[in-house]
Amino acid sequence: MNKINVAIIGVGSFTKALVEGVAFYTKHPKENRGLINPKIGNYRIQDINFVAAFDVDERKVNKKLHEAISAKPNVTLKICDPLKYDAVVHRGPTLDGIIDQMRKSFVHESNAPVVDIVNILKKSKADIVVNFVPSGGEQATYVYAEAALEAHCSFINCIPTPLATIPEWRKKFTNNGLVLLGDDIKSQLGATMLNRFLLELLKMRGINVSKSEQENRGGNADHFNLLYRAKSKEKSKREALTHFLEKGDAEPSVKFFYTGKPSGHKLVNIKIEGEIFGRVPISIISVIEDEISINGAGVVVDAIRIAKLLVNRGKQKDTWKVCSFLMKAPPKQMSDSQANAEFRKFLLSL
Ligand SMILES: NC(=O)c1ccc[n+]([C@@H]2O[C@H](COP(=O)([O-])OP(=O)(O)OC[C@H]3O[C@@H](n4cnc5c(N)ncnc54)[C@H](O)[C@@H]3O)[C@@H](O)[C@H]2O)c1
């Protein structure tokens, strides 16, 4: 089985978690704990091969990928030493990737000349491009997605900028024999999923929802960025929740807070209130503590392998069947249980 050649856009904390996670399962090939799917088709985690990367920060540009992932301000709990790759981090176009507030404290913009993305993707023989630019980077996402198309690469949009939810974009990829997976990658077990399960449970038990509040607190660059650019993220998270609600239920609220302490640790508080029999109140309070980037990387390793398999098997038109399992804002919303069942059924049919 051939390797899956992956190019990364945005060498931030998420990429650090992904590269270290791939190293962990490659060094421990018999270890399946922590994986949602040890195998997808015949692909295992160790078949993921990083061949190129793009960033705009001088502390990362022109470094080898396995070195750049440890540059500041990246912050996650270290899983293990990364594997060594020849892949270099190239200077990508900045566009709307960074906001002014980030320039001062989080991103030191590189003076290096911007590279030809298409040329590098072609030379590196990338099969798949994975987008990890900061939330709100719309122009950047669209420019990289166009470049991926031109270089004949599939594209995984891990950020909430609408791309895979736009039918024209999906068609562009499918018509070229490629796949576009998106938008906004789910965590292996994150706030949206738990919040959705709780709301679904209330609805299943005939309970109206009078309050649904989700607070996300973190100290990494993504949480700082979200202070200023949470619009698309909040929309993606809120829409994932409203899917379960009925007329008369309270609108869910989703908030982000930046702790000011550099850390990959995230604290989520979810509070749901409703009325049971006799209109008597009930409330549920849940807390998740996790390493946010690592939680997301556990799903990206599945997205990469399924994207390659869809192309190998000529099933590009079936991409929507797997997006609901992988993404918070897929072309077709469904409950996590339905999405899981659809995903498993599809894998068996391949
Ligand atoms: N579990 C999760 O962490 C999770 C889940 C869903 C979505 N996301 C999204 O994934 C993205 C990445 O998260 P992160 O924690 O790694 O963020 P991060 O801020 O640590 O990393 C973003 C990287 O992108 C680089 N960048 C900025 N503009 C660029 C451009 N134009 N071209 C190339 N690189 C550029 C930055 O220099 C930085 O290295 C965010 O948009 C986040 O919202 C994360």
Distance 349 CA to ligand 1 centre (A): 34
Average pLDDT, the chain: 96
Mean pLDDT of 222-245: 87
Last residue of a domain, one of 247, 270, 292: 292
Nearest-CA residue for ligand 1 atom 38 is 12
Give the bridge partners for 5, in sequence order: 49
CA 144 – CA 153 distance, rounded (Å): 11
Q: Helix or strand or coil: residue 216?
A: strand
Q: Helix or strand or coil: residue 109?
A: strand
One domain for residues 231 and 339: no
**What distances in angstroms separate CA 20 from CA 73, 78, 135, 231, 339, one per listed residue?**
16, 7, 22, 30, 28
Last residue of a domain, one of 292, 313, 333: 292
One domain for residues 270 and 224: yes
Residue pLDDT, tens place only, 237-283: 888 888 878 899 999 999 999 999 999 999 999 999 999 999 999 99
CA 101 – CA 139 distance, rounded (Å): 18
- Exposure of 159 by Cβ count < 10 A (0-12 exposed, 13-18 middle, 19+ buried)? buried
DSSP 88: B
Of 215, 220, 217, the closest CA to residue 286 belongs to: 215
pLDDT band at 28 (very low <50, low <70, confident <90, very high): very high
Q: Residue 160: CB partners within 8 Å, gap ≥ 6?
A: 135, 183, 184, 232, 233, 235, 236, 328, 329
One domain for residues 203 and 314: no
One domain for residues 171 and 218: no
Of 218, 214, 258, 219, the closest CA to residue 236 belongs to: 214
Mean pLDDT of 24-39: 97
Does the pLDDT of residue 1 top 80, yes or no? no
Dihedral of CA atoms 41, 325, 184, 2 in degrees, nearest 10, equals: 0
**What distances in angstroms separate CA 201 from CA 146, 206, 247, one per listed residue?**
41, 9, 17
Q: Is the whole model's pTM more than 0.85, yes or no? A: yes
pLDDT band at 235 (very low <50, low <70, confident <90, very high): confident
Residue pLDDT, tens place only, 288-328: 999 999 999 999 999 999 999 999 999 999 999 999 999 99
One domain for residues 93 and 196: no
Atom of ligand 1 nearest to the CA of 226: 43
Domain CATH code at residue 83 = 3.40.50.720
Buried b (16+ CB within 10 A) or exposed e, 41-61: bebbbebbbbbbbbbbbbbbb
One domain for residues 260 and 305: no
Number of structural domains, the chain? 2
One domain for residues 212 and 167: no
pLDDT band at 151 (very low <50, low <70, confident <90, very high): very high
Nearest-CA residue for ligand 1 atom 25 is 10
Cβ neighbours of 72 (radius 10 Å):
12
Give the bridge partners for 290, in sequence order: 266
One domain for residues 148 and 17: yes
Residue 17: which domain range? 4-186+294-349
Mean pLDDT of 209-232: 94
Nearest-CA residue for ligand 1 atom 7 is 159
Does the pLDDT of residue 232 top 90, yes or no? no
Last residue of a domain, one of 244, 274, 292: 292
Mean pLDDT of 318-347: 94
One domain for residues 128 and 30: yes
Does the pLDDT of residue 59 top 70, yes or no? yes
- Exposure of 2 by Cβ count < 10 A (0-12 exposed, 13-18 middle, 19+ buried)? exposed
pLDDT band at 225 (very low <50, low <70, confident <90, very high): very high
Of 245, 242, 218, the closest CA to residue 230 belongs to: 218
One domain for residues 144 and 155: yes
CA 255 – CA 269 distance, rounded (Å): 10
Domain CATH code at residue 276 = 3.30.360.10
One domain for residues 288 and 307: no
Q: Residue 20: CB partners within 8 Å, gap ≥ 6?
A: 69, 76, 78, 79, 80, 81, 82
Ligand 1 pocket: which of 11, 13, 14 to mutate (most atoms within 8 A of CB)? 14
Distance 36 CA to ligand 1 centre (A): 23
Ligand 1 pocket: which of 106, 132, 142 to mutate (most atoms within 8 A of CB)? 132
Atom of ligand 1 nearest to the CA of 221: 19
One domain for residues 157 and 287: no
Give the bridge partners for 288, in sequence order: 268
